[in-house]
Amino acid sequence: MRTFCSHITITQTDTTVTINGWVDRHRDHGGILFVDCRDHTGIVQLVFPPEQPDLLQQANELRSEFVIQASGVVKQRSPDTINPALQTGDIEIQVTDLTILNRSNPLPFSHHEPIREHTKLQYRYLHLRRSDMQQKLRFRAKLTSLIRLELSNQGFVDIETPVLTRSTPEGARDYLVPSRTQPGHFFALPQSPQIFKQLLMVSGFDRYYQIVKCFRDEDLRADRQPEFTQLDVEMSFVSEADIQDMTERLINRLFQELLDVTLPKQFPRLTYAEAMNQYGCDKPDLRNPLTLVDIGHLVKDESFEVFAKPAKLDGHRVVALKVPSGGSMSRKQIDDYTKLVGKYGAKGLAYIKVTNLDMGIDGLKSPIIKFFNPQTILNICQLVQAQDHDLVFFGAGSNSMVNQSMSALRDQLGLDLSLIDQQAWKILWVTDFPMFDKQTDGQLTPMHHPFTAPKQVDFDQDKQPENWLSRAYDLVLNGSEIAGGSIRIHDRSMQMNIFDTLGFEEEAAINEFQHLLDALSYGAPPHGGIAFGIDRLVMLMTQSDSIRDVIAFPKTQSAACLLTRAPATVPNEQLEELAIQSHSNTPENQE
């Protein structure tokens, strides 16, 4: 009967146990030999005493990562040899039988040292042997089990949707799969099962869920992989509140049972407009106390055009960002922050250092004060409630530039000044997103996706679709978007109307989305849903720095797998069978 290493306790003293595992470390004292045996539960110390020379000689062959089975008697350790750092530190196993199940070459890296990312990924199966990686993937499994338990208890039906499906024109770049049976035709891997789950609502599966891989061929980030896992949920006969309710119950249970963390029963809500106004960002990290404060109304009549001009222009804003105790910031630090906002197009970074408010304008230091009426500066200080030794940064320009640069600045300040409580969990809903984004060429694109229902729009009256709001909502945890969804359009003519607003030709829209449009005309119920980024959620819950750490076999930033060396070239016959010709003339392709 197998026992797990760290499950052996002092109550088993003098009983015989058998363990399987890997040699973690071995300590050879000549006459006596200690071996730390490791399995996924932990470590237990094996002792090979000098009284059994044959066994000792056999044990002398043991090296790190050899796979062994050992039987022996559990012994209580004498008080002076107890190791309090080890869960099993009060006992050890006096070995009577040892089997070397497999030998191991020395590992390319030690389990007890940091490893470069490249090496980790190349020998991923060895890296996953580490206890921190074991814990993360086991945590992930617990999380998905709990999700299935909770959702099936709530009457949700788990339904699989196709992986080989149709490419749609909107959204991210598709991964394509050539069809052999229909040369020149291609499947796409799903960016999400969006349309399928809506079709399932039409079918009458009024509560659907699926834990499903999604694929997007876009550039990677620390929190973005080309294939990632969503918890996809859709419900019929619901409004926003029902989806949010279900989400709050689920997330609360996950945090309570997996982390023993109690989140608010209802999550705070911010509208998109409020979030952008206060944080410059639609996924603010609320652990960071800094906020943006509009000061346009105070500076619009000043002669300082850098502020006055955007203060008067539509689509522009002027904001202040107060940094408590920031007055001690060095010239170099401020230069670095200026570079940071420069990445987003800011021409500079104006600031005021507050040294002594009692002295009025003379108690302030700033390169820009001289351009202002002194009372305006004092009004700004009052508005942001600046105190002695504070620093106030300013951003002025187009909404998008100010929001992007100042929210990046806010994040960086949060890190640099340790304003963020790393133990805290701050979750919120962001609601009332605009329906559309207006691109530089004036073209509208859906902010969420083109099936999102608008919020109370009178199509005949309101001819400014860029101002329309949608029934979309995002769930934001510690500054990361961990879920997003919407109430969908269930009316065919409304859907056609939105396609039209997006500039789709009627014929093209009918062609691309025929299956959805048809379905909407056969008694589609009102419905809506949400999709959770499982990788991101697990990343946050396990305090990991990268999504790669919670994915067993992740890709590199250039979307390659260092373990399998995918993607790779294929023989020409394989291409011919698929009616594919490669334009790439790299030497590897010639082989």
Partner RNA sequence: GGGGUGGUAGUUCAGAUUGGUUAGAAUACCGGCCUGUCACGUCGGUGGUCGCGGGUUCGAGCCCCGUCCACCCCGCCA
CA angle in degrees (0–180, nearest 5) for 518-523-528:
90
Q: Distance between CA 502 and CA 497 in Å, rounded?
A: 9
Q: Distance between CA 181 and CA 177 in Å, rounded?
A: 12
Q: Going residue by residue from 505 to 544, which x/- string records binding to RNA, judged by CB under 7 A?
A: ----------------------------------------
Closer by beta carbon to RNA, 106 or else 155: 106
Interface residue with RNA, options 83, 99, 375, 467 (CB under 7 A): 83
Q: Is 556 in the site for RNA (CB under 7 A)?
A: yes
Give the footprint of RNA on residues 85-104 (CB under 7 A). Answer: 85-86, 89, 92
Interface residue with RNA, options 3, 161, 191, 236 (CB under 7 A): 191
Alpha helices in 438-584 (DSSP H): 492-501, 506-512, 514-520, 534-541, 572-577
Interface residue with RNA, options 136, 197, 317, 448 (CB under 7 A): 448
Q: Distance between CA 314 and CA 259 in Å, rounded?
A: 46
Q: Provide the residue count of the chain.
A: 591
Closer by beta carbon to RNA, 165 or else 355: 165
Contacts of 422 by beta carbon, 8 Å cutoff, 6+ apart: 543
Q: Distance between CA 185 and CA 579 in Å, rounded?
A: 9
Interface residue with RNA, options 9, 557, 582, 589 (CB under 7 A): 557
Stretch in the footprint of RNA (CB under 7 A) among 23-31, 124-132, 388-396, 419-427: 23-31
Contacts of 79 by beta carbon, 8 Å cutoff, 6+ apart: none
Closer by beta carbon to RNA, 284 or else 327: 284
Give the footprint of RNA on residues 27-46 (CB under 7 A). Answer: 27-32, 34, 36, 45
Stretch in the footprint of RNA (CB under 7 A) among 187-195, 247-255, 258-266, 313-321: 187-195
CA-to-CA dists, residue 269 to 273, 435, 476, 477, angstroms: 12, 18, 10, 12
- Identify which of 562, 559, 412 has the alpha carbon closest to the alpha carbon of residue 479: 412
- Identify which of 511, 486, 349, 369 has the alpha carbon closest to the alpha carbon of residue 430: 486
Give the footprint of RNA on residues 103-142 (CB under 7 A). Answer: 106, 108-110, 112-119, 121
Radius of gyration of the chain (CA): 30
Interface residue with RNA, options 87, 179, 373, 445 (CB under 7 A): 445
Closer by beta carbon to RNA, 114 or else 204: 114
Closer by beta carbon to RNA, 150 or else 474: 474
Q: Which two tokens stand for residue 231?
A: 């918890």
- Identify which of 584, 547, 554 has the alpha carbon closest to the alpha carbon of residue 568: 584
Interface residue with RNA, options 330, 558, 584, 585 (CB under 7 A): 558
Closer by beta carbon to RNA, 101 or else 141: 101
The distance of closest approach from Cβ of residue 499 to RNA in the complex, given in angstroms and rounded to an integer, is 12
Sheet of strand 316-323: strand arrangement = 292-294, 316-323, 391-398, 350-354, 364-365
Question: Is 121 within 8 Å of 563 (Cβ atoms)?
Answer: yes
Stretch in the footprint of RNA (CB under 7 A) among 7-15, 240-248, 413-421, 554-562: 554-562
Stretch in the footprint of RNA (CB under 7 A) among 129-137, 268-276, 448-456, 515-523: 448-456
Give the footprint of RNA on residues 213-272 (CB under 7 A). Answer: 216, 218-224
Give the footprint of RNA on residues 384-423 (CB under 7 A). Answer: 404
Contacts of 294 by beta carbon, 8 Å cutoff, 6+ apart: 277, 317, 318, 319
The distance of closest approach from Cβ of residue 384 to RNA in the complex, given in angstroms and rounded to an integer, is 26
Closer by beta carbon to RNA, 106 or else 442: 106
Q: Is 283 in the site for RNA (CB under 7 A)?
A: no
Q: How many residues bind RNA (CB under 7 A)?
A: 70
Q: Is 502 in the site for RNA (CB under 7 A)?
A: no
Stretch in the footprint of RNA (CB under 7 A) among 12-20, 125-133, 294-302, 550-558: 550-558
Q: Is the dihedral of CA 508, 510, 514, 520 positive or negative?
A: positive
Stretch in the footprint of RNA (CB under 7 A) among 22-30, 249-257, 258-266, 455-463: 22-30
CB atoms within 10 A of CB 137: 17
Question: Is 360 within 8 Å of 378 (Cβ atoms)?
Answer: yes
Interface residue with RNA, options 14, 54, 80, 573 (CB under 7 A): 80
User: What is the end-to-end Cα distance of the chain in Å, rounded?
Assistant: 53
Q: Is 438 in the site for RNA (CB under 7 A)?
A: no
Contacts of 25 by beta carbon, 8 Å cutoff, 6+ apart: 35, 36, 64
Q: Is 478 in the site for RNA (CB under 7 A)?
A: no
Question: Is 161 within 8 Å of 531 (Cβ atoms)?
Answer: no
Q: Is 2 in the site for RNA (CB under 7 A)?
A: no
Stretch in the footprint of RNA (CB under 7 A) among 174-182, 388-396, 440-448, 565-573: 440-448
Closer by beta carbon to RNA, 3 or else 191: 191
Interface residue with RNA, options 50, 289, 367, 374 (CB under 7 A): 50
Question: Is 416 within 8 Å of 391 (Cβ atoms)?
Answer: no
Q: Going residue by residue from 335 to 354, which x/- string records binding to RNA, judged by CB under 7 A?
A: --------xx----------
The distance of closest approach from Cβ of residue 581 to RNA in the complex, given in angstroms and rounded to an integer, is 21
Helices (H) and strands (E) in the chain, counts: 18, 23
Q: Going residue by residue from 166 to 185, which x/- string records binding to RNA, judged by CB under 7 A?
A: ----xxxx------------
Closer by beta carbon to RNA, 80 or else 458: 80
**Which residues is 431 bridged to in the sheet?**
271, 473
Stretch in the footprint of RNA (CB under 7 A) among 212-220, 249-257, 372-380, 419-427: 212-220
Q: Could you give phi then psi for residue 73, rounded to 5 degrees?
A: -105, 130
Closer by beta carbon to RNA, 191 or else 366: 191
Burial 320-355 (b: 16+ CB within 10 A, else e): bbbbeebbebeeeebeebbebbeebebeebbbbbbe
Query: Can you give the binding site for RNA, defined by CB under 7 A?
Result: 25, 27-32, 34, 36, 45, 47, 49-50, 63-64, 77-78, 80-83, 85-86, 89, 92, 106, 108-110, 112-119, 121, 170-173, 191-192, 194, 216, 218-224, 343-344, 404, 437, 445-450, 546, 548, 556-558, 560, 562
